[in-house]
Structure formats: C-alpha cells, structure tokens
Structure 1
Amino acid sequence: MGKKIKDPGLGNSSSAHAKRMMNSDGSFNLEHLNKPRRFSEAYHYLVHISWIHFFVLTFLGGFLINAVFAVIYLVIGIEQIIPTTGDILNDFLNAFFFSTQTFTTLGYGFMAPHGIASGIVSSFEAFTGLLLFAFITGLLYGRFSKPKASVRFSKHLVLRAFNNQNAIMFRLVNNRRSTMIYPKISVTLALSKVSSNGDYVNEFYALDLERDTINYLPTTWTIVHEIDKESPLFEFSKEDLINQHGELIIMISYYDESFNQEVHQMHSYFLNEICLDHTFVKAYYYNDDGKMVLDHKLFDSIEPLKS
C-alpha cells in the first residue's frame, strides 16, 4: 500500500469539505482564531508581507502621522508657524506641509516654529521621524537580505504512461540566474479517508521519486513518482485518482550561492488538478550557435500524449 508515515505535523483529523492544506505560494492554509497580538511580531510581519503591501503601509503610516501632527499644530495655533489664511483647509495644508518638512528633517523654508509650543511639538516630531526612518531602513535591509528560495513550480500536474506503468509528474525551475546547488526534494501525499466510525482522517505517505536529489540545476527538473505496486496510488484507476481528496505536499531545499546558505520552499498540488495523458513540452533547446536556451514561456506548456 506504500510507505505510510506518521503525521508530519499537519494533523490527522479531516473533514468532508476540507480545503487544501497548503496554498500555492507555499504558506499553510491556516486561520488563527483568538491569537493574542504582540508588538514584537510587527517586524516579522513587515519583513514577510509583499512589497506592494509594505510600501502601501509605509506611505499610509507616514501620511497619518503627518496628518496627526498637522492637527496638533492647528490646535496650538497655526500662527506660531505661519500667518493664518482664514480658511481651515488651507491652514491644514500648510500645517501638513510644515509637518512633512519637520518629520523628514529636510529643514525649514518660509515656515518655521515661532513659539515655545510649536517648537516643542516640532522637536518631538523630528525625533520621531528619525526613529521611524531608522526602523524602515532596518526593515528594507531585512527584506533584501532575507534568504529566500525562488523556485517556480509548473502549473500542471500530469499523469502519463512511463516505463510500462503510470507516473505522476510535475517540474520546477529556478527563477534566478544563479545555479541551484545540490537541490533535494521530498513529496508527501495526504489522503483524506473515512474511518470505520465515520470520521474523516488524513493518512500520510512518503512518495518514492525517480530522483530526489541532483548535483545542480541550470534548467528544468521533472519530478516523477511511478505508480507501481509499492505506491499508495496503485489501487486507484486514472479516473478514480483525480476524484480522491488528496494533496501532494512538496518541499525543496538547496544551497543558494547568493545567500551562501541553504534555502527552502514549499508547494502543493491537489489530485483533482491532474491532467490525464499529457506530457510537458521541452522548455530548453540549442540555438544555431550551439548554446543552450531555456524558454520560460514554455515552462508551463503541456500537450496530449501521443498514442
């Protein structure tokens, strides 16, 4: 029946309407409820969110801070900075521009504090701006220096004839120009089944692969699991296989010469995503000069298997 293993950390309990355990980006499909929030987690959150979210939060935070200080300048009197225009909106804009100059420590132009209250507030704001800029600089360094794998997995999971039997295949490629050194991969199958008492449980199997490690990867690597008598999928026909509530959970590790350390990445496929009797289109070829060319546009391409 295959190499059944203990729970790798995902939990044995399942449900009739359970969704995938892992998202396509490698994060676990897990929702935290009633989890206490800690300020110490802010750095971890800001380092790991996407660049778009990071810059949106940065600009939004800067705008809100300057807006708050602009209101404070209005409360203590805009006359301590610049003569009032008599219009609340224009006075707010002047206070906001003055706050931005103070916060970024750019220096004063025609607007400057002329009173004790405005001087105290502007000094505190300048000190706050220095602290926040140092914090953001640290975040930028942390985001750029964070070791992170950049592996692209094929959109398709195919099932085709291979070595006089069937095999499940997917492939991967390095998104960077650097070479992956000693990449190694493991694939765990999670099957949701109904137990004797009617409960849904997860069973886990370590799938045997044609090759689970290579020396280096400059092009693509097709991962193959042959469905032989030792495979946990041997009992299913092609049609039954794609109807199973099963998920392939993949982890790849390799030495990245850019970071000088080992990095990891995870991915998953649902069994119902299998494309029957298809094969991958070769994504690399040799040009007229004899140089190998890797065409990334062909990486996800598949075609029906020729009879």
Structure 2
Amino acid sequence: MTRVRDFQKRFKFDRYTGFGSGLNNQGDRLLNRDGTFNVSRTGQGFWERISPFHQLITMPWTHFMTMIISAFLALNFLFTSGYYVIGLDEITGIYHTKPISRFIEIFAFSAQTLTTVGYGRVSPIGDFASLLASLEALVGLLSFALVTGLLYGRFSRPFARLLYSENALIAPFQDKTALMFRIANARKNQLIECEATVLFNYHDKETNARRFINIELEYAKVNALSLSWTIVHPIDEKSPIYGLNQADLEELQPEIILMFKAFDDTYSQNIHTRLSYNFKEIIWGAKFDPMYKRSESGFSTVLELNKIGQYQLMELPDLTKEKTEVY
C-alpha cells in the first residue's frame, strides 16, 4: 500500500523556528544531545570571540574549582618569585635556612598576604617588599571579590536538571500508534506550569531544504512535573508520520525537536531546555516501562529515575486495513 504525502498542501510549515531551512548549509543535526545548538561561530577575532563571564558562569563545577585553585597557586607563586627578586633581606621573621623550607615559608607569607590574613611572624621591612605586599593585598581583595560574584552568579542562575529518555518510541496508543518520549525532573525542586513544543523537521527533496511542522500533542501542558511526563504525539490523520513505515521515515531524515519550559518554584524564574531525536534514536515498536511505584510503607510514591529510558519491544497494531489515502 503506497501513500503519497504532500506535506506542503496538508501542513502549515513553521517558518519562525530560527533554525533556517538550507539543508546544504547545515550540519548533521540542529541540536546536540545536550540541548545546545549545533553551531560553530567563525569570522571574529580572538578577543571578540571569547566571553570570560559566560564561560565562568556556565562551565562545570569541577572545571571552575580547578581554575580557581590553579589561579590562587599561580598568583602566590608569582608574588613569591617577586619577593625572591627583591631580596629576602627585606623580609623579617624567616627562621628556616634550607632553600626548600625557606621557599615554603615565603610562599605561605604570600598566601597570608593575598588572603589578607597576616599572621605577623613574617613581615616586610624594606620599601620594595612593602610595596609588593601592598600590591598583593590589593590583588587579593579584587580577586576574592570577583570570585564571590562568580559564585553568587553560579548559585543564583536557574538551571534545570531534566532527564530525557535516550530514545523516542513509536508505540501503541489507543488502537493506533504514537510518537513518545519521556522526561522527568532529577531534582527535588518544584516545576510548575510545564509546557512542551515539538517540531517535526524533515528533508524536502524537491527543494533540498528542511521543513518544520509544529506537531500536535496529546497534552502540551501539565500543571506540575511531580513524576515523569510521557509526551505523546498521536499518529493520526493530522500527523506528518501517519501512514509512513520505517523506510519512509528514514528517507525523510527527520529530527524531532522538543522545546520544554517551566516555572521553577525555587528560583521563581522560568527555565528552558531543548532536546532532539534523529531517525537512529527512534525505536519502532516499543513501549516505556513504568518508572514509579508505591513505596513499601504505602505512604509515598517512588520515582525510579534510572528507568527513564527503559522500554519493551512490542508489536504495533495492524493498520493496513485502513482506507488508503492519497494526497
């Protein structure tokens, strides 16, 4: 049974997605698996291209703390070297005579000056050493003020930690089929007024362009994401996937783009996340396993986040008896 699809007549293309339509000018997919846009920017100078504040705010915590500790050690090593250049005779209170022990003692004095602790046993007595110590104290004050601002920015920035199923499924749904994927909140914060928008992006061979169709969902909004949410797109006459088999879908080179937004009750701000599935990440003929159950005490619900992407393969309903439609 052959179904001829004329998407241009049957569907209204979304031309305001911001992704563009030129297939030959774009990469393999529009969104990476982490939700970032698959775009590399060129044509700018080095200083125009870098954005220190953005990088420091968004980098992983391990990288951020490693950078802070490295900068602290580097500054102390720099000022310790400066005291050696000036001469240790301009510093009093040094007890050790061995070179390595003396270096550690001067390094500790530099750290105490940089942090404005100043224990007092080791102190500058010469003019140049006093000037260098004053400069180091100023650098320390400015550095810690900068780090404090960055820490506040990182902690105060709303950041959603949503879990997505690794695959989208073509699953049985109300005697027909549906495209499904599942999300859940990995944190204990409350997400309310949740809304999902899903775009069906495919390759139009006639124009060699990408087309975007805003597909309908069973529920596009939920009041709260307390458990998991299986986002369902029924594959009926209103769906661009209706009547297509696996080979037809692969030929379209689809990318299913999910855009999710919600209100974070902890930060009192809106959060936004994105994800996409290409054809290789769509499982044909499967259904998600349940991922929550009653607790042993019977007084609460257990949400098993490790089951966010678990599914069972199963046969899809036979729809070949339906009337053939030619568009």
Q: Same fold (TM over 0.5)?
A: yes
The amino acid across from 1:65 in the alignment is L
Contact 1:243 1:272 in 2 (8 A): no
Q: Which residue of 1 aligns with 2:111?
A: 100
Whole-Å Cα distance in 2 between the matches of residues 157 and 193 of structure 1?
A: 22
Q: 2:30 aligns with which of 14, 21, 24?
A: 21
Q: Which residue of 2 aligns with 1:44?
A: 54
Cα deviation for residue 85 of structure 1 reads: 4.2
Q: Any residues of structure 2 matched to 1:1-307 within 5 Å, and which?
A: 1=7, 2-15=11-24, 18-36=27-45, 37=47, 41-81=51-91, 82=94, 85=97, 87=99, 91-196=102-207, 200-234=208-242, 236-242=244-250, 244-290=252-298, 291-305=300-314
Contact 2:172 2:287 in 1 (8 A): no
Whole-Å Cα distance in 1 between the matches of residues 233 and 110 of structure 2?
A: 62
Question: Judging changes above 3 Å, is the alpha-carbon distance between structure 1 residues 13 and 75 closer, same or farther for their aligned structure 2 residues?
Answer: same
Contact 2:190 2:266 in 1 (8 A): no
Q: Percent identity?
A: 32
Question: Judging changes above 3 Å, is the alpha-carbon distance between structure 1 residues 54 and 80 closer, same or farther for their aligned structure 2 residues?
Answer: same
SS in 1 for 2:309: coil
Cα deviation for residue 141 of structure 1 reads: 1.0
The amino acid across from 1:190 in the alignment is N
Structure 1, 227-236 or 206-215: larger mean CA deviation: 227-236
SS in 2 for 1:251: strand
Structure 1, 236-245 or 211-220: larger mean CA deviation: 236-245
Contact 2:186 2:305 in 1 (8 A): no
Question: Judging changes above 3 Å, is the alpha-carbon distance between structure 1 residues 14 and 7 closer, same or farther for their aligned structure 2 residues?
Answer: farther
Cα deviation for residue 92 of structure 1 reads: 4.2
Contact 1:74 1:91 in 2 (8 A): no
Question: Judging changes above 3 Å, is the alpha-carbon distance between structure 1 residues 161 and 9 closer, same or farther for their aligned structure 2 residues?
Answer: same
Q: 1:193-251 CA deviation, whole Å, 9 max, x = no partner?
A: 4445xxx4221111111110012221111011122232222353123324542212211
Question: Judging changes above 3 Å, is the alpha-carbon distance between structure 1 residues 83 and 179 closer, same or farther for their aligned structure 2 residues?
Answer: closer
Contact 2:288 2:309 in 1 (8 A): yes
The amino acid across from 1:188 in the alignment is L
Whole-Å Cα distance in 1 between the matches of residues 71 and 153 of structure 2?
A: 19
Contact 2:164 2:308 in 1 (8 A): no
Contact 2:162 2:184 in 1 (8 A): yes
Question: Judging changes above 3 Å, is the alpha-carbon distance between structure 1 residues 104 and 266 closer, same or farther for their aligned structure 2 residues?
Answer: same
Whole-Å Cα distance in 2 between the matches of residues 248 and 226 of structure 1?
A: 14
Whole-Å Cα distance in 1 between the matches of residues 98 and 226 of structure 2?
A: 68
Question: Judging changes above 3 Å, is the alpha-carbon distance between structure 1 residues 115 and 16 closer, same or farther for their aligned structure 2 residues?
Answer: closer
Whole-Å Cα distance in 2 between the matches of residues 288 and 69 of structure 1?
A: 61
| Deviating 4+ runs (over 6 angstroms) | none
Report the count of equivalent residues: 303
Cα deviation for residue 17 of structure 1 reads: 8.1
Whole-Å Cα distance in 1 between the matches of residues 315 and 174 of structure 2?
A: 15
Whole-Å Cα distance in 1 between the matches of residues 200 and 67 of structure 2?
A: 38
Contact 1:256 1:262 in 2 (8 A): yes
Unmatched runs of 5 consecutive residues or more in structure 1? none
SS in 1 for 2:54: helix
Contact 1:191 1:245 in 2 (8 A): yes
Question: Judging changes above 3 Å, is the alpha-carbon distance between structure 1 residues 228 and 39 closer, same or farther for their aligned structure 2 residues?
Answer: closer
Cα deviation for residue 151 of structure 1 reads: 1.8
